[in-house]
């Protein structure tokens, strides 16, 4: 007579292990990996910041529950390009030190919404710079600009200031069509020659007109 067999036997948990695997394919944070010839599903670990690529040799762990996780990349055949991938918001903090980004070629910062920079002092130095904005608002307390040559090209320029002082060695202004100056009072002082040349000249004074000189030539 055979003794009854207990069918409620609990399977023993899998033994946790760490093995080498090869990435077969990727879909977001999920991957198919080849572990010693067996294709298994694996999840990229939260702390694995380097985005894996197909054919990467990775370090894959198997937990006691049988889940596979990719811990890091051991070797990448071919191209050595690398991308850091964060699953959500990320912050780089160096409370007691500095953060430096150094590149032998170029550095690109791209933001889908807003790029914000805060600092006590900012220094930008380059041999050539291109600034292209659809709309720009600049606000500050003091502005000092030193350039060898300045060229402004615009369809319309509007300048508003409480006081404006310009000092130049030579000043040449050319207006193709119409030039108008409106002021409460106007004074001009010329140490040398003051010359005005026009096809027609009209001077209108509501009250007095005074011309004073040692010699006055008219006509």
Within-domain flag for 146: no
Q: What is the mean pLDDT of residues 87-101?
A: 89
Full domain range(s) for residue 46: 22-75
Looking at the structure of the chain, the number of domains it has is 1
pTM of the model: 0.60
Considering the domain boundaries, does residue 69 fall inside one? Answer: yes
Answer yes or no: are the C-beta atoms of 53 and 31 closer than 8 Å. Answer: no
Mean pLDDT value across residues 40-56: 91
Over residues 13-31, the mean pLDDT reads 85
For residues 71 and 59, the answer to whether their CB atoms sit within 8 Å is yes
> What separation in angstroms does the CA of 135 have from each of 116, 130, 197?
16, 15, 41
The verdict on residue 44 lying in a domain is yes
Please give the average per-residue pLDDT across 160-179, as a whole number: 90
Question: 135 in a domain, yes or no?
Answer: no
Q: How confident is the model at residue 12 (pLDDT cuts 50, 70, 90)?
A: low
| pLDDT at position 3 over 80 | no
> What is the Cα–Cα distance from 58 to 19, expressed in whole angstroms?
9
Q: Is the pLDDT of residue 43 over 90?
A: yes
Beta pairing, strands 30-35 & 38-44: antiparallel
CATH number at residue 59: 2.40.50
- Would 218 be classed as within a structural domain? no
28, pLDDT greater than 90 = no
Is the pLDDT at 39 greater than 90, yes or no? Answer: yes
């Amino acid at each position: 007579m055979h003794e009854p067999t207990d069918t409620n036997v609990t399977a023993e948990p899998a033994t946790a292990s760490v093995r080498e695997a090869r990435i077969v394919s990727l879909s977001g944070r999920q991957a198919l990996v080849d572990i010693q010839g067996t294709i298994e599903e694996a999840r990229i670990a939260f702390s694995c910041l380097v985005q894996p690529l197909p054919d990467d040799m990775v370090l894959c762990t198997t937990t006691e529950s049988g889940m596979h996780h990719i811990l890091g990349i051991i070797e990448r055949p071919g191209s050595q390009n690398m991308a850091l991938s964060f699953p959500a918001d990320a912050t780089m903090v160096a409370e007691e030190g500095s953060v430096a980004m150094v590149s032998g070629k170029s550095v690109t910062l791209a933001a889908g919404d807003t790029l914000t920079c805060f600092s006590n002092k900012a220094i930008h130095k380059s041999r050539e710079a291109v600034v292209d904005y659809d709309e720009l608002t600049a606000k500050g307390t003091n502005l000092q600009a030193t350039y060898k040559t300045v060229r402004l090209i615009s369809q319309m320029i509007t300048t508003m200031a409480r006081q404006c002082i310009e000092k130049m060695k030579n000043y040449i202004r050319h207006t193709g069509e119409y030039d108008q100056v409106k002021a409460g009072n106007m004074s001009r002082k010329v140490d040398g020659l003051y010359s005005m040349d026009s096809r027609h000249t009209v001077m209108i004074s509501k009250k007095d007109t005074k011309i004073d000189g040692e010699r006055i030539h008219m006509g």
